[in-house]
């Protein structure tokens, strides 16, 4: 039965009346006329339209036409920008460092417990004294493949406990019949270079030790070091260090680098220029993360962005170092497009002296000599077209090949930075699923 009500001669059937009308009618006095009822209603609609427009304006970002599922990327970027702005506000008000708030918010949304499944035993443990989440397949071959993985996050964010990395490592463990160890290295700003590198190196040495290999049933001839973004940087550095360590009985068979960051001397490569405002990694954000990682003065950000720290009058950078990151020679022409190198004749003096880690190959693996690269294992390097770090990866591919290392460059023309870890719900990125499957397929064929 429909209950009928009357307010100043206006009759409504409650099941079919709009929520706005019911609210307004109930709030009005009996003396208010029907023409006056609609004035507040229209005002509410106008306010609602303005709010929706403001949200749409905040979310909308012009993106290159070829990027995969642009609206999903816009929503993801809006969320990240919101987190970043909240962190900056918290720091400005003196509550906490902006990175701490970012990590708390990410942890609240993403962190999951080490829950085992019918196929995989999952535990949190220590590897060489470093916190690590371990995924061990149940059943399968007696001797397993082994993968040690380093998460991304600009050396300052993220964790092996995040749902996205937990799902990735579970999938690797199940599909490859592999023991996967995801390392929780220390993070900036408390930890700065070489702390993160030292953590992953200690963990990698422990991973290759006879004790760990035997305890987990890992085949010493089928091991891989891998990571994405900043984790790809750490994986490349570890592969270089251990490849040149003649005291090791066992070494990695392959290295798998996912859109790695490999140098901090040129923030105007073709990909930095092309994708400077493409989410989720902006050019300015990458410079900020580098300064955090290297423990440098954050006011140097505009100096890095203008390449004033690597000007030709900088005595700490010789011609040999410059040739190792000459993207105009190392990156294929179809990716260089119309972009030109940004080379300063004179710049800001003393930056390399103040921040010597800019030239340290443990922080910037692209600067390694050819004789170091030639001792690294067979490589997989994923790059994405709409990523500021695309050219870092492509330059490394070229240098590895020239050093005699077999390399697969898996390039995604519609990919963006971070896409692989967004392969699952809620984002369920198409290029994320394709890139994750391609990565695991390569490991299956080469590990």
The sign of the CA dihedral 163, 164, 167, 173 is negative
- The residue annotated as part of the active site, out of 229, 271, 310, 435, is 229
DSSP string, 154-220: TTTS--TTBHHHHHHHHHHHHHHTEEEEEE----TTTS-TTHHHHHHHHHHHHHTSHHHHHHHTEEE
- Sign, CA dihedral 98-99-102-107, equals negative
Q: Catalytic: which of 219, 387, 410, 414?
A: 387
Asked if 219 is an active-site residue, the reply is: no
Distance CA 86, CA 105 (A): 10
Query: For residues 46 and 26, what is the distance between their CA atoms, to the nearest angstrom?
Result: 21
What whole-number distance in Å separates Cα of residue 157 and Cα of residue 222? 30
Separation of alpha carbons 252 and 242, rounded Å: 8
Catalytic residue among 311, 410, 417, 429: 417
Dihedrals phi, psi of 438, to nearest 5 degrees? -65, -40
Handedness of CA 252, 253, 258, 262 (dihedral sign): positive
E strand segments, 250-317: 254-258
Is there a catalytic annotation at residue 417?
yes
Residues belonging to the active site: 229, 387, 417
């Amino acid at each position: 039965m429909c209950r009928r009500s009357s307010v100043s001669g206006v009759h409504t059937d409650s099941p079919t009346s709009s929520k706005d009308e019911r609210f307004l009618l109930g709030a009005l006095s009996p003396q208010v006329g029907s023409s006056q009822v609609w004035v507040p209603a229209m005002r509410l609609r106008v306010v609602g339209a303005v709010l929706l427009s403001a949200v749409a304006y905040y979310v909308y970002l012009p993106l290159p036409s070829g990027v995969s599922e642009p609206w999903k990327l816009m929503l993801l970027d809006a969320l990240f920008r919101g987190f970043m702005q909240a962190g900056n506000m918290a720091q400005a008000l003196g509550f906490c460092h902006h990175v701490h708030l970012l990590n708390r918010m990410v942890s609240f949304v993403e962190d999951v417990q080490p829950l085992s499944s019918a196929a995989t035993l999952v535990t949190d443990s220590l590897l060489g004294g470093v916190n690590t989440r371990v995924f061990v397949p149940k059943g399968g071959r007696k001797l397993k493949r082994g993968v040690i993985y380093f998460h991304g996050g600009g050396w300052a964010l993220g964790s092996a406990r995040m749902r996205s990395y937990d799902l990735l490592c579970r999938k690797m463990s199940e599909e490859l019949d592999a023991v996967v160890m995801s390392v929780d290295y220390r993070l900036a700003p408390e930890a700065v270079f070489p702390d993160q590198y030292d953590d992953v190196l200690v963990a990698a040495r422990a991973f290759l030790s006879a004790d760990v290999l035997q305890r987990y049933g890992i085949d010493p001839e089928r091991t891989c070091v891998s990571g994405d973004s900043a984790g790809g940087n750490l994986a490349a550095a570890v592969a270089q260090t251990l490849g040149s360590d003649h005291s090791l009985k066992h070494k990695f068979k392959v290295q798998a680098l996912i859109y790695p960051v490999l140098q901090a001397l040129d923030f105007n490569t073709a990909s930095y220029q092309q994708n400077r405002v493409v989410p989720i990694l902006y050019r300015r954000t990458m410079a900020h993360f580098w300064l955090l990682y290297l423990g440098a003065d954050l006011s140097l950000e505009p100096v890095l962005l203008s390449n004033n720290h690597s000007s030709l009058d900088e005595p700490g950078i010789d011609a040999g170092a410059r040739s190792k990151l000459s993207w105009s020679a190392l990156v294929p022409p179809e990716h260089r497009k119309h972009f030109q190198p940004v080379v300063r004749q004179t710049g800001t003096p003393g930056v390399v002296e103040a921040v010597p880690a800019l030239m340290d190959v443990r922080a910037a693996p692209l600067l390694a000599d050819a004789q170091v690269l030639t001792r690294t294992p067979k490589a997989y390097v994923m790059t994405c077209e709409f990523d500021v770090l695309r050219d870092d990866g492509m330059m490394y591919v070229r240098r590895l090949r020239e050093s005699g290392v077999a390399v697969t460059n898996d390039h995604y023309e519609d990919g963006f930075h971070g896409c692989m870890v967004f392969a699952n719900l809620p984002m369920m990125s198409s290029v994320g699923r394709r890139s994750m499957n391609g990565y695991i397929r390569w490991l299956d064929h080469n590990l």
